[in-house]
Structure 1
Amino acid sequence: MQSEPNTGNRASRPLSAGTASANPASGFREVLSSFRDWWGHEVTGTVDQVAVIEKRRAECQLSARYLLMVSMSAGIAILGLLQGSAAVVIGAMLLSPLMDPIMGVGFALAVGDYKWLRQAGKSLAVGTIFAILFTALVVFFSPLQTITSEIAARTRPSLLDLGVAIFSAVAGAYAMIRGREGTIVGVAIATALMPPLAVVGFGLATLNGTVFWGALFLFITNLTAIALTATAMARGYGFSTSLSEKQTRMQALLIFGAFVVLAIPLFLSLRQIVWESTATRQARNAVEEVFVGRATVSQMDPSFDAEPLQISATVFTPEIVGDAEGRAEQLISRRLGRPVDVTLTQLRVGTGAQAAEEAQLTQARAQERAAREQADDIADRLALLAGVPKDEVTVDRDRRRALVTARPLDGATLSAYAELERRIDALEPEWDIRLTPPLRPLSQATFDLVEGEEDQPDTYALSTQGTQAVQLAAWAQSRVGVPIAITGPADAVAAVRNAFSHHNIAVQAETTGNGFGPVTLEWAAGGNN
């Protein structure tokens, strides 16, 4: 009886279940190994790490040129922010040298070079302080100290700001590693850093704590995101830590500590951003539940700073739902754990997704048409009130701002021009209406005697007329930009100067004796006419 020969051909045998299930994992490991080989040879292997590190280290030096370019960039940026001009702000970025030290911090963390980290950190810290102080000085002597939309937009971090910082860091690190850095990359980095830094200087000069701390928080968040992203990019390209004899364990701990300190503000910012994103998604889901999934939420605008939290939304629905706002408030309040005020605008449309999409397009076109008509109407009214042609009225529909310089009218006082602006502004509460008056004489600020109670001495305070004179002068100064000079007794001048400081306006003061008495308000440039 012959036995079947054993050929040893295992391929002809059926695979067991265990062998079959192991193949996908094995294939994945092979793909991963192949990718690692390709990345090591074709990507990181083609990078001259020594040359990149030496160049980055050399460009982190603190120099007079570096401080000059920081101050010039900061100066242009703050002037653009004060004017509300995005174009000027972007132009300032062409000069900003902040990319070099911040990238130096990121690369130093990646390679564990404590000396380089200290050098880059010093350059960054000195440049930051220099930019803040320089912008504060510009704002202090500037006649324009009003919080514009460009300034307000940089007082708290958002997910978009964080995205700009991260993408800028990725582009910057890649360009530096590959030796392709240039002006555009520097602009990208500076966009995330210099404008918030300029707003910090504005908050310092105007003693506005909300603006100062909000912008500083945004700056630190962007700074952290850029530094850590650059570190991750450098490590990904093979820049790794290698402790030498000069780099002790203490230095390594200090580097790690710097990494942790930088991560704290980013964590705090991300936590708030994640909460707001989650809250918005939960609010949207709750509104859709109220309409049993048959409606489309076209637009949702939450206001997280309000108390209670304000949520407004536009809903396209085939059937109007009664008490939708009350039911949505209950659902959202229960899920967020805080009181919520919901405002829903229900627009009835046909059934189906296509009907909702067509309704959204129709609404967008209607809003655009209404915005154009509203802007034209505002321009017509401003031109009529200011006595100028319509083409001399500047209207910014995106920011909802309208500016015009009024023509001098016989017999018209500053209070008349202020009243004209107030009336049209009251009719358009969502717009920022600004009417620049011609220079007119300012009124005196008078004082009233205030009798003290019991053993308290009598004092003087600005009279009703004096308070109105200061308010009117502050309004006119914010429009025309000409400095104000005040003259009178020392105590009275100090009281009037303090009143102007509440409007973020600095004045030129001259005293004529002591005590209280009428204070003369004049245009410092001698512009009374």
Structure 2
Amino acid sequence: MTDKAAKRRPVASRPDDDEDFGVSLARSIEVFRRWWRISVIETVDRPEVIARRREEAYTSPRYLFMLSMSAGIAILGMLLSSPAVVIGAMLIAPLIGPIIGAGFALAIGDYRWLAGSVRALLAGTALGVGLTALIVFVSPLQTITPEIAARTQPNLFDLGVAVFSALAGAYAMIRGREGTIVGVAIATALMPPLAAVGFGLATMNWTVFWGAGLLYITNLMTIALVATLMARLYGFSHTLSERQTNWQTVMIVVIFVALATPLFFSLRQIVWETNAARQIRASLVASFESDVRISEIDFDLDSDPITVDATVLTPETSRVAERESEESLSVLLGKPVLLDLTQFLVGTELEAEAAEIAAARARERRDDVEAARELGKSLALIADADDRSVVVDRENRRAVVRAGRLEGAGLATYRAIEERITEDYPDWAVELIPPLSALPAIPFADGELAPAGLENLELVAWAAQRRGLPVALQGGSPETREIAAAVLGELDLEPQLQIGGPVMQARWDTDAED
């Protein structure tokens, strides 16, 4: 054998090499553990941290009040579909105290502390759900908004938010850097789902109720258990708690298992849904021989059969792709699958990108049409009108509704309805035409226009502009009629002035009927 051949021959690893690697790895782990104990754990004043966490872990009037305010703001923000308002609710939510307290209590095995934290969480949860349900029950707005719909089912991203929130919260508590921002991180994962539970209860929408409840419980368990693990990692153990009975120790273990069990089932469901989404995309791509780009995909894993609606861009269409994808997905998911596959033929990568942009614009137009349709339905429902009384101009984002006659409602009620609709749809110009009804009197006091008179003149101007009819001011003195006419003139309305009784009365200056 030549020297070159000998050099090319692989050299077998020797047992001594494996032993040296194992020894080196064990030595490195020991060095890291020593560094962690001396440089990290020993720098934490654990008794002081525990004392601070105990103070904020129990039920108190301040805790219940601030939680009530946070829940009220959260549900109003979700009804208005306003992320800014929902964020405002998180700024004052005091949930970080009892939930991090429960995690630390589990870490050190303190039964009394754990029981107090759990009681605070239960009281806060019951109060939050009850208050939000009451607000929704008395509110005229009971539509499922995107803010509510987003909190009806836990997914992998929600779980990630809970994990990172717990890591940030526990670290800040241990290192003594707690503050409002850390509380916001915890409230992000808990307050919106809690408010959504109240919405589901008030509207008896059990899909929202159970879905948001599952998300709330999943996030709560995740935060508590991650806080427990962080506390143990930083040296918080049973040696820091008072002496316990065996019964208390067993109870803590039972509670830990009870916390972990629903989280395990939620995680299993989340993992299944994540894998199902990945398999759906992979199966669609694999059913085409050429390169294919998925432009749009939507699926419902809870339906029976599972429904999948997909749009793909491909340089070569396939007649069997839909059937093959349905068969493969039925096998992979273990349930029947109904696939609706739309194929767009594109030749080059540039054409694919252009087609994808066109599809996105088409989706935007479709969403805009759907928004206009929802606005029309809302207007008809709120104003007690039929569909023929609602005109929606989608291009100019303008809507006009001729309101039905509501029992006991005056012009002020109809104007309030218009204002509320405008607040709900700020991107639209909404006009509500009230039914023809009597105009109000214009009170004066000592020759001066009373505050109620000014309000009524504004109401008269609004009603006249909406109905497009002239008005007359009858009665009062010539001076008061001139004052009222000047106010209406500033509101772009020129009334007829007529002699009458001592009290000025606005009336329609026409015999037109509704």
1:147 and 2:144 aligned: yes
Structure 2 equivalent of residue 415 of structure 1: 385
Q: Secondary structure at the match of 1:181?
A: coil
1:180 to 177, 180, 187: 177
1:287 and 2:255 aligned: no
1:124 and 2:130 aligned: no
1:442 to 397, 401, 406: 406
Structure 2 equivalent of residue 303 of structure 1: 300
1:95 and 2:92 aligned: yes
Structure 2 equivalent of residue 366 of structure 1: 358
Structure 2 equivalent of residue 247 of structure 1: 244
1:80 and 2:77 aligned: yes
Cα contact 2:78–2:86 (8 A) shared by 1: yes
Q: Are residues 198 and 373 of structure 1, via their aligned partners in 2, closer, same or farther at CA, if it must alter by over 3 Å?
A: closer
Tell me the matched-pair count. Answer: 403
Q: Secondary structure at the match of 2:311?
A: strand
> Which amino acid in structure 2 is aligned with residue 128 of structure 1?
T
Structure 1 equivalent of residue 45 of structure 2: 48
What is the CA-CA distance between 1:414 and the residue it aligns to?
4.8
Structure 2 equivalent of residue 109 of structure 1: 106
How far, CA to CA, are the matches of 1:15 and 1:154 in structure 2?
58
What is the CA-CA distance between 1:349 and the residue it aligns to?
4.0
Structure 2 equivalent of residue 68 of structure 1: 65
- The Cα RMSD (Å) is 3.5
Cα contact 1:437–1:479 (8 A) shared by 2: no
Q: Deviations over 1:185-242 (max 9, x none)?
A: 1111111111111111112222222222221111111100110111111111111223
Q: Secondary structure at the match of 2:71?
A: helix
Cα contact 2:201–2:209 (8 A) shared by 1: yes
> Which amino acid in structure 2 is aligned with residue 184 of structure 1?
I
Cα contact 1:111–1:239 (8 A) shared by 2: yes
Cα contact 2:96–2:187 (8 A) shared by 1: yes
Structure 1 equivalent of residue 257 of structure 2: 260
Q: Secondary structure at the match of 1:415?
A: coil
TM-score norm. by structure 2 comes to 0.70
Q: Are residues 266 and 436 of structure 1, via their aligned partners in 2, closer, same or farther at CA, if it must alter by over 3 Å?
A: farther
Structure 2 equivalent of residue 156 of structure 1: 153
> Which amino acid in structure 2 is aligned with residue 67 of structure 1?
L
Cα contact 1:298–1:360 (8 A) shared by 2: no
TM-score norm. by structure 1 comes to 0.69
Q: Deviations over 1:39-73 (max 9, x none)?
A: 11122221111111110011113111111100000
How far, CA to CA, are the matches of 2:265 and 2:171 in structure 1?
27
What is the CA-CA distance between 1:261 and the residue it aligns to?
1.1
Structure 2 equivalent of residue 459 of structure 1: none
How far, CA to CA, are the matches of 1:377 and 1:333 in structure 2?
34
Cα contact 1:311–1:340 (8 A) shared by 2: yes
Q: Secondary structure at the match of 2:343?
A: strand
Cα contact 1:146–1:478 (8 A) shared by 2: no
Cα contact 1:200–1:215 (8 A) shared by 2: yes
What is the CA-CA distance between 1:286 and the residue it aligns to?
2.0
> Which amino acid in structure 2 is aligned with residue 119 of structure 1?
G
Q: Secondary structure at the match of 2:130?
A: helix
What is the CA-CA distance between 1:37 and the residue it aligns to?
1.6
When structure 1 is superposed on structure 2, of 339-348 and 158-167 the one drifting more is 339-348
What is the CA-CA distance between 1:144 and the residue it aligns to?
1.4
How far, CA to CA, are the matches of 1:15 and 1:435 in structure 2?
82
Q: Are residues 323 and 72 of structure 1, via their aligned partners in 2, closer, same or farther at CA, if it must alter by over 3 Å?
A: same
What is the CA-CA distance between 1:348 and the residue it aligns to?
3.5
Q: Deviations over 1:116-151 (max 9, x none)?
A: 101111111111111111111211221212222211
Cα contact 1:405–1:436 (8 A) shared by 2: no
Gaps of 5+ in 1: 1-13, 383-399, 407-412, 445-474, 482-528
How far, CA to CA, are the matches of 2:356 and 2:126 in structure 1?
45
Cα contact 1:156–1:217 (8 A) shared by 2: yes
How far, CA to CA, are the matches of 2:92 and 2:329 in structure 1?
47
Q: Percent identity?
A: 51
Bigger Cα Rg: 2
Q: Are residues 360 and 60 of structure 1, via their aligned partners in 2, closer, same or farther at CA, if it must alter by over 3 Å?
A: farther
1:221 and 2:212 aligned: no
Cα contact 2:133–2:199 (8 A) shared by 1: yes
How far, CA to CA, are the matches of 1:235 and 1:314 in structure 2?
49
